């Protein structure tokens, strides 16, 4: 049975739990030199219509570890530049016999559209301002490794909530798993209809960071901002930067996260980015394992066997 992974909002708690458990199993296997053997020969299309470093490389690494091949789609070099629609591009890729599609696109809802026309496994790697489910799973795995639970944790999600698919996927996931979600940012960078997202909204940083277990910074998404939305970067920094000083009100053992790419010195200072609270590098690495889990999950291969050679070494 194949599946799609398009959003966190539409996942049930047991599905989130099984994806996280599967990610952990993949991580253990990779770290023990026993990545899963491919259950079948499969080719995954990586369709990145927007720039990406972490997400693209970690999907490639996930495919490498799991023994899948990838076919990279370069938007500028494709027929899209000749005016082909997304729908026709996806239909073409179906005819090319790809087994799954991973898609990142600037339009909210593009992953859903891709799933409709591909008719097989599709993973959303970020659709506009909508969702980025594998990032939220990587973040949840990282939090679990540090805190041992999600339930009851105070999590502050800071910054450009309005434009952030990472904020949306994380808010849904954390709320479903019982965390106390706080969304904080300048009024212009918070959604107008706050009732559509789970969590409590704050316009001042310190009350949102008070006693926080997890402080999750967001990138200022200038490419999605209408002109004039942000008064000035300096003003943002003064009001909302996560730094040595503002972190004083959070728990002593709080962790600081950022999905990257970071505007160092704007969303967070060097202390927050590189100091003892930072888990940013771990988020990146966990991205590999959750994408391994996402691929095996959409293929319905939740119990992928250990590679025979590695198993012998272990025996
Ligand atoms: C995020 C994205 O592209 O949504 N980055 C990522 O995937 N790690 C966040 C961002 O670009 O701000």
Decide the pairing of beta strands 255-257 and 214-217.
parallel
Burial class of residue 238 (count of CB atoms within 10 Å of its CB; 0-12, 13-18, 19+): exposed
Residue at 1 is within a domain: no
In-domain check, residue 2 = no
Q: Which of 52, 23, 92 is nearest to 259 (CA)?
A: 52
89 is catalytic: no
Instruction: Give me the domain span that covers residue 83.
Output: 13-131+284-298
Task: Kindly state whether residues 138 and 264 are assigned to the same domain.
Answer: yes
Of residues 26, 42, 132, 182, which has the active-site annotation? 132
Beta bridge partners of 72: 46
Per-residue pLDDT of the chain (315 residues; tens, 9 = 90+): 789 999 999 999 999 999 999 999 999 999 999 988 876 789 999 999 998 899 999 999 999 999 999 999 877 766 766 678 899 999 999 999 999 999 999 999 999 999 999 999 999 999 999 999 999 999 999 999 999 999 999 999 999 999 999 999 999 999 999 999 999 999 999 999 888 899 999 999 999 999 999 999 999 988 888 777 777 889 999 999 999 999 999 999 999 999 999 999 999 999 999 999 999 999 999 999 999 999 999 999 865 455 544 444 443
Query: In this structure, are 52 and 149 located in the same domain?
Result: no
Residue 241: CATH number of its domain: 3.40.50.1370
Closest CA to 121 of 133, 132, 136, 111: 111
**Where does ligand 1 bind, in terms of residues with CB under 6 Å?**
54-55, 126, 132, 135, 165-166, 219, 221, 259-260
Domain count, the chain: 2
- Compute the half-sphere exposure of residue 290: CA atoms within 13 Å on the CB side of its CA: 27
Quote the distance between the C-alpha of residue 286 and its chain's center: 10
| Residue 47 and residue 22 in one domain | yes
- CA of 235 from ligand 1 middle (Å) equals 23
Pick from 116, 127, 120: nearest CA to 96: 120
Looking at the structure, do residues 172 and 117 belong to the same domain, yes or no? Answer: no
């Amino acid at each position: 049975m194949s599946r799609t992974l398009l959003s966190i909002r539409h996942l049930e708690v047991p599905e989130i739990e099984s994806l996280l458990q599967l990610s952990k199993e993949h991580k253990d296997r990779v770290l023990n030199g026993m990545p899963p053997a491919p259950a079948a020969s499969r080719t995954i299309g990586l369709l990145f219509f927007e720039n990406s470093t972490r997400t693209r490389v970690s999907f490639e690494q996930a495919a490498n570890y799991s023994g899948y091949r990838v076919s990279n789609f370069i938007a500028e070099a494709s027929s899209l530049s000749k005016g082909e629609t997304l729908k026709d591009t996806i239909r073409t890729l179906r005819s090319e016999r790809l087994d799954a599609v991973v898609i990142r696109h600037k339009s909210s809802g593009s992953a859903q559209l891709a799933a409709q026309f591909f008719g097989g496994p599709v993973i959303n790697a970020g659709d506009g301002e909508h969702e980025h489910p594998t990032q939220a799973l990587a973040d949840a795995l990282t939090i679990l490794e540090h805190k041992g639970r999600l339930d009851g944790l105070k999590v502050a999600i800071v910054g450009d909530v309005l434009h952030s698919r990472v904020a949306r996927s994380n808010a849904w996931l954390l709320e479903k798993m019982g965390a106390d979600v706080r969304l904080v940012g300048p009024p212009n960078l918070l959604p107008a209809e706050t009732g559509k997202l789970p969590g409590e909204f704050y316009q001042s940083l310190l009350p949102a960071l008070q006693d926080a277990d997890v402080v999750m910074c967001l990138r200022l998404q200038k490419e999605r901002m209408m002109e004039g939305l942000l008064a000035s970067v300096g003003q943002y920094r003064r009001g909302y930067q996560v730094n040595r000083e503002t972190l004083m009100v959070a728990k002593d053992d709080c962790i600081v996260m950022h999905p990257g790419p970071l505007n160092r010195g704007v969303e967070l200072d060097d202390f927050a980015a590189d100091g003892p609270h930072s888990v940013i590098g771990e988020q990146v690495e966990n991205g590999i394992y959750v994408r391994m889990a996402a691929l095996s999950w959409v293929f319905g291969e939740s119990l992928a066997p250990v590679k025979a050679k590695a198993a012998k070494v272990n025996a």
